[in-house]
Amino acid sequence: MTALTLSTAAAAGLRADAIVIGVAKGAEGPVVAPGAEAVDKAYDGSLAGVLETLGAVGAEGEVTKLPAPAGFKAPLVVAVGLGTQPDEDAGFDAEALRRAAGVAARALTGAKKAAFALPLTDAADAGAVAEGVLLGAYSFDTYKDGGAGGKGARARNSKAPLAEAALLGGKPRDRVYKAAIERATAVAEELNRARDLINMPPNDLDPEAFAAIAQAAAKEHGVKVQVLDEKALVKGGYGGILGVGAGSAAGPRLVKLSYTSAKADKHLAFVGKGITYDSGGISLKPAGHNETMKCDMSGAAAVFAAVVAAARLGLEVNITGWLALAENMPSGSATRPGDVLRMYSGKTVEVLNTDAEGRLVLADALWAASEENPDAIVDVATLTGAMMLALGNRTFGIMANDEAFRSAVHEAAEEVGEPAWPMPLPEHLRKGMDSSTADIANMGERMGGGLVAGLFLREFVGEGITWAHLDIAGPAFNEGGPFGYTPKGGTGTAVRTLVRLAELTAAGDLG
């Protein structure tokens, strides 16, 4: 990952490939953002005019490259759009900075070093720019140029991400600034690790491989790991996870990650859907609907990343992460539509559609999480196509058994720049899942399918436990081009919301 430092160096003397500056959309054309005064001065104050000549308006996502002024050691200035110029006393909001930093970092792919002279008003802004750079510079090249063990010459068709970034305008010796950079680094590193897992092809990332990676990384950061393999799942009666994994040659796993702080008095549980590949099973998905289904473990990747990030930050809260890992495949041993599964909670489920598998693995993990009676449970899942239809592919849905908690999760998501929206759990949709054979069916009415799935999960949350469900099917995997600090492919959505929830809980500001 990009190496990041705070620097007090003057822009002119910096040995770098480029200086990044901000340009905002003013009422009468582009406006050079604070932080770039020295650069503007070196152009004799004509920088805004030069940018306008080059066609810049200051719009979000805009990149304008120009030769650096005489006397600068760096050869290039990269002016990145910040969007509408804020009112006089207001600074740029953190998300505008994060996105612009991400766009600039991506525009600098292949460069060794860049200095970022963006408008910083406080440590939180520095943290936002740091996050934007580290997340925007991400690229998944593991399999390019022959991959590991291949000839490995990256130069052939892929360029390395920006290697080094220096943030100007911050206070390198200030504790608060240092902490903001440390936080951004830990969160971005773990989030990028989640992206790597999501992008890994499913022939290399099966449940066993995922569990092994989680085990190694968690150990490194002082998180306790327990892996239930197939034998242990059978012994424990995890009928949901086993039922989904039954068709695959690669057996399912339930991974429990425990991070504890001596100073904690609250306990959160995060539960992630970890279908390493969702073919649909016997209810096979048609071609056109299965090419991106390696992303169906994005919830588990997010939970994993959030728990490790919380541990690295030493947050004063106990967190248990549950990764419900299985591969959903059709075969002679696969669960059939019509089968009844006895779940870990003891309830029976009639499987009417084997493609509604996420709720089955989550049901077992939610019940396991409930047994420890945490203060709250949050599950994260690429659960339904219906949620994508409802909210599009950048916004995740939030459902909960407690309205105040749903709002708290929504606020946390907004704070960190993750688009999300509250969704209801209408009681009348429950009866659509009535089964003539079992306690409940794994499918109900088609209309409101995302909410039906939420209602199903609710049945497997322990009595009296506060719970929220994030359906990230839309934003988990970006099939379009990169934007802001979001790359193509796995996005790592929900990681930052979970970390924020952990921070709020540690601070006693939640529940």
Nearest to 296 by CA among 279, 320, 284, 282: 279
Q: b or e along 52-73 (b: 16 or more beta carbons within 10 Å of the residue's beta carbon)? A: beeebebebebbbebebbeebe
Q: Among residues 26 and 330, whose Cβ is nearest to Zn ion? A: 330
- Give me the amino acid identity at 190: E
Mark residues 251-290: x for contact with ligand BES by CB under 6 A, - for none.
---------------------------x------------
> Quick one: which segment of 159-167, 174-182, 381-389, 413-421 binds ligand BES (CB under 6 A)?
381-389
- Give me the amino acid identity at 410: H
Give the sheet arrangement for strand 440-441, strand by strand.
Answer: 340-342, 348-350, 440-441
Q: How far is the CB of 287 from Zn ion (least distance, A)?
A: 17
Contacts of residue 476, Cβ cutoff 8 Å, sequence gap at least 6: 198, 295, 298, 299, 382, 490, 491, 493
- Other Cβ atoms within 10 Å of 455 Cβ, number: 23
Catalytic residue of the set 266, 273, 312, 359: 359
> 175 with 13: CB under 8 angstroms?
no
User: Is residue 417 involved in binding Zn ion (CB under 5 A)?
Assistant: no
Q: Quick one: which of 64, 318, 320, 384 contacts ligand BES (CB under 6 A)?
A: 384
> Quick one: which segment of 53-61, 348-356, 480-488, 491-499 binds Mn ion (CB under 5 A)?
348-356
In the residue annotation, 359 being an active-site residue is answered as yes
Q: Quick one: which of 24, 324, 378, 443 contacts ligand BES (CB under 6 A)?
A: 443
User: Is residue 356 involved in binding ligand BES (CB under 6 A)?
Assistant: yes
Q: Among residues 401 and 442, whose Cβ is nearest to Mn ion? A: 442
User: What is the DSSP code string of 304-365?
Assistant: HHHHHHHHHHT-SSEEEEEEEEEEE--STTSPPTT-EEE-TTS-EEE-S-TT--HHHHHHHH
- Output the residue with the shortest Cβ distance to ligand BES: 385
User: Is residue 449 involved in binding ligand BES (CB under 6 A)?
Assistant: yes
Torsion, Cα 259 261 264 269, to 10 degrees, reads 0
Given Zn ion, Mn ion, ligand BES, none, residue 385, with its beta carbon under 5 to 8 Å by kind, binds ligand BES
Q: How many residues bind Zn ion (CB under 5 A)?
A: 4
135: helix, strand or coil: helix
Catalytic residue of the set 144, 159, 285, 342: 285
In the residue annotation, 154 being an active-site residue is answered as no
Judged by CB under 5 A, the chain residues 243 through 282 that form the site for Mn ion are: 278
Q: How far is the CB of 181 from Mn ion (least distance, A)?
A: 40
Give the residue numbers marked as catalytic: 285, 359
Chain positions contacting Mn ion, by CB under 5 A: 278, 355, 357
